[in-house]
Amino acid sequence: MKFDVLIIGGGLAGLATAIKFDNAVTVALIIKKNFSTSSSHWAQGGVAGVLNKDDKLELHEQDTLVAGAGLCNKDAVKFVVENSEQSIQWLIDQGIEFTKTKDNQSLHLTKEGGHSLNRIAHVADFTGKAIQEKLIEQVSAKKNITVFENHTAVDLITNKKINQKNSTNKCLGAYILNNQTGQVISISAKKTVLASGGVSKAYLYTTNPPVSTGDGIAMAWRAGCEIKNMEFIQFHPTCLFHPMERSFLISETLRGEGGVLTLPNKEKFMHKYHPLADLAPRDIVARAIDNEMKQHGLEYVLLDITMLDADFIKKRFPNIYDHCYKLGIDITEEAIPVVPAAHYTCGGVTTDLDAKTTINGLYAVGETACTGLHGANRLASNSLLECLVFSSAAVEHISNCLNESNNEALPSWDESRVSNPDEAVMILQTWNELRRFMWNYVGIVRTNQRLKRAFDRIEILKDEIQHYYKNFIISPDLLELRNLLQVSELIILSALSRKESRGLHFSKDFPEKLDHAEDTVLRLD
């Protein structure tokens, strides 16, 4: 199959990129499960932007830089913040109905940790779902976009891989598995865009949907791309703690509206850790909770919003109210049990301001990319914004050079592999093992010894899975596990090479921050 552009991933980054192309550009959009299984769909908070007269571009930039702990790329920060207003306007133009102020005159702007003022546009507490649903309508209406739901990308095809050894590395398309038929097709594309989200499923506890298995980052690495800052995994401080529900986010906007964290005996603790107390940057809040839980032997802490008016809570947080109520927690009357959980990948595939990776013909947008916006810790609600700004940048750059590019003939997938009855149990066992030791050894607080232990395990598991990948018929589960092992290795290698604590990376062996901030850059050669 031949397309002008191949986009891998159906969250906000993928959908916005697909929609923004002119109707004359043919687009293949690969979605691993279905439209509603992306992290964007689950996003509650909102989209940060400079939207009113009290705010200034410099203030949003400054908050982003402070959260990023000295590691942000200042050009990327400026670029994103400068484009924030028009990005939010683009969403409004697509029909997204953001929550308005009481007088209905302007957008209701809320606050989250690290923001010096209210600047987050939101749709109650289901911003991501509201955006995704509208954009899915747009994608379905556009005849130039062919959607492949239930298809998993296997690997990128590059000219180096198909034996054009002496030429510059260039992405030519990808092998794509039809999850239902098991058939692998090769899609030839003049340009390929990775928009497949982050890696949080490498951890036992996460706020992300099951699809967050780092596919784009792993494929880019195998294709020879530069990867940056993978040690910076953001743990969201407040994931619901409940035996029936492991991945439900309790949005930071609850604290933005006045909610406070307490111990089970109702004692507040965040003031001991930061002057902004409950609205300190996320890394500080997550580590504070982790510390309190360890110190007091707790399974969870509490987030209390019962001081707010019950009607306000139900109107402002309908999704969280309903979800908790169904699980037996009335958040207007009782505090919510919460724990930190893996939430966002700040590092990823190195990209520039055009969303270009270090390989010709390959772009990355959204959580898959490392644009430098987030540095060592992402400021809340900057991620949907980043998807919007860099989808435009990618579309502009690709559109300007599409005429100079051709589709290349690609080799077919090797169909000679056989099935293996042991695969399911091996995948389940390896997946459980990986997620547990990533949580325990490569989590919120790290040590060299724990990281080395995790690295040794990864090398053994990677060999095992590679054997399955090479010899047996591939399945979506096997591909996800292969990718998770790859990105876990990249996280550990990056964490081991950082000899300091900065932002989201905290090492007991190197508790101080060095004077000079440097990216962790990984390259295959």
List of residues contacting ligand SIN (CB under 6 A): 44-45, 112, 251-253, 380-381, 383
Residue number, nearest CB to ligand SIN: 45
- Rounded to a whole number of angstroms, the minimum distance from the CB of residue 126 to ligand SIN is 10
Q: How many CB atoms lie within 10 A of CB 513?
A: 14
Query: What is the DSSP secondary-structure string of 402-422?
Result: GGG------PPP----B--TT
Sheet holding 47-48, edge to edge: 47-48, 120-121, 109-110
Characterise 104 by phi-psi region: left (phi > 0), alpha (psi -120 to 50), beta (else): left
From CA 368, how far away is CA 79, in angstroms rounded? 18
Report the sign of the C-alpha dihedral through residues 58, 62, 63, 64, in that order: positive
Residue the block writes with tokens 């506890």? 205
Nearer to ligand SIN, 112 or 304 (CB): 112
Nearest CA to 487 out of 193, 230, 149 is that of 230
Q: How many CB atoms lie within 10 A of CB 423?
A: 16
Residue the block writes with tokens 């850790």? 273
Rounded to the nearest 10 degrees, what angle do helices 383-401 and 74-82 cross at? 90
- Rounded to a whole number of angstroms, the minimum distance from the CB of residue 282 to ligand SIN is 8
Bridge partners, 150 (sequence order): none
Characterise 470 by phi-psi region: left (phi > 0), alpha (psi -120 to 50), beta (else): alpha
Nearer to ligand SIN, 111 or 190 (CB): 111
Eight-class DSSP state of 159:
T
- Rounded to a whole number of angstroms, the minimum distance from the CB of residue 185 to ligand SIN is 35
Q: What is the set of active-site residues? A: 282
- Rounded to a whole number of angstroms, the minimum distance from the CB of residue 238 to ligand SIN is 7
Nearer to ligand SIN, 233 or 380 (CB): 380
- Rounded to a whole number of angstroms, the minimum distance from the CB of residue 179 to ligand SIN is 28
The residue type of 498 is: R
Eight-class DSSP state of 514:
P
Nearer to ligand SIN, 370 or 395 (CB): 370
Nearer to ligand SIN, 4 or 63 (CB): 63
- Rounded to a whole number of angstroms, the minimum distance from the CB of residue 43 to ligand SIN is 6
The residue type of 415 is: E
* Cα distance between the two ends of the chain: 31
Nearer to ligand SIN, 236 or 356 (CB): 236
- Rounded to a whole number of angstroms, the minimum distance from the CB of residue 391 to ligand SIN is 17
Gyration radius of the chain over CA positions: 22
Structure token digits, residue 318:
């309908």
Nearer to ligand SIN, 87 or 383 (CB): 383
